[in-house]
């Protein structure tokens, strides 16, 4: 089947309606284009993958703002480029701010970063709250969140563990994070 501009636009409309298959198709169809673009820019596979995932996440969140007079791939690349530039700026600002003041007085003010008993309690409460939110997700979303963030498995390891294609895992994780974010936002508004 030839993938035409009309087919892409129709798929985008389906994605706007929340059809999971449309999100899967868009991710699968454009993944290599965005990932390849980032790999050339950052020359680091893990960083390129993170930026690519963030690109699709942002694009899927802002799908209503997509202007069909531009190609979807170009729109994704623009989002990806902006994310990479922001990350680069933050990294440079962070490095500069950490090295800018080396006066004797500043050195004496280095904070103790060891967590206090109160910090540990707050972290445990935050983790318990996060786990409650995760339990509100469907089981297959809970599973990929657990494997990725609590067991720290790579996408490939998750794919092998669940015996599913890598792109399905990526889409599921993307969707799980979006749903979890919505749950957290709705609970924080109450």
Taking only the tens of pLDDT, the chain with its 190 residues reads 688 999 999 999 999 998 888 988 999 899 999 999 999 999 988 888 889 988 998 898 899 999 999 899 999 999 999 999 998 888 877 666 655 555 555 555 555 556 666 556 555 667 778 888 889 988 888 999 889 888 888 889 999 999 988 877 888 888 888 888 888 888 877 6
**CB distance 154 to 11 below 8 Å:** no
| pLDDT score for 134 | 87
Global pTM reads 0.56
Model pLDDT, residue 99:
57
* Residues 79, 59 contacting (CB under 8 angstroms): yes
Evaluate whether 28 touches 145 at the Cβ level (below 8 Å). no
Residue-level pLDDT at 148: 87
User: For residue 70, which of 3, 1, 12, 2 has the smallest C-alpha distance?
Assistant: 12
Say if CB 142 and CB 135 are below 8 A apart.
yes
**Domain parsing of the chain, residue ranges:** 1-110, 111-190
CB–CB of 80/36 below 8 Å? Answer: no
From the list 47, 48, 74, the residue with the least C-alpha distance to 59 is 74
Q: What is the DSSP letter of 151?
A: S
In CATH terms, is domain 1-110 a member of 1.10.10.10?
no
Query: What pLDDT score was predicted for residue 36?
Result: 94
* Residues 111-190, CATH architecture: Orthogonal Bundle (1.10)
Token pair of 14, please?
């389906």
Q: Is 48 helix (H, G, I), strand (E, B) or coil?
A: helix
Predicted local confidence at residue 168, as pLDDT:
75
Contact 133, 187 (CB under 8 A): yes
DSSP for 62-113, written as a single string: TGGG--TTS-HHHHHHHHHHHHHHHHHHHHHHHHHHHHS---HHHHHT----
How many angstroms from the chain centroid is the CA of residue 63? 15
């Amino acid at each position: 089947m030839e993938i035409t501009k009309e087919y892409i636009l129709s798929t985008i409309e389906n994605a706007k309606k929340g059809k999971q298959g449309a999100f899967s198709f868009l991710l699968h169809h454009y993944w290599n284009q965005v990932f390849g673009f980032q790999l050339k820019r950052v020359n680091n596979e893990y960083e390129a993958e993170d930026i690519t995932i963030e690109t699709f996440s942002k694009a899927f969140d802002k799908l209503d703002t997509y202007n069909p007079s531009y190609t979807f791939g170009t729109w994704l690349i623009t989002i990806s480029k902006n994310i990479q530039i922001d990350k680069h700026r933050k990294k440079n600002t962070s490095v500069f701010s950490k090295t800018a003041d080396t006066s004797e007085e500043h050195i004496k003010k280095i904070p103790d970063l060891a967590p206090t008993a109160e910090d540990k309690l707050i972290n445990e409460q935050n983790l318990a709250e996060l786990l409650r939110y995760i339990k509100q997700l469907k089981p297959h979303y809970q599973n990929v969140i657990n494997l990725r963030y609590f067991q720290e498995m790579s996408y490939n390891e998750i794919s092998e563990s669940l015996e599913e294609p890598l792109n399905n895992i990526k889409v599921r994780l993307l969707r799980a994070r979006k749903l979890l974010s919505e749950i957290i936002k709705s609970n924080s508004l109450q």
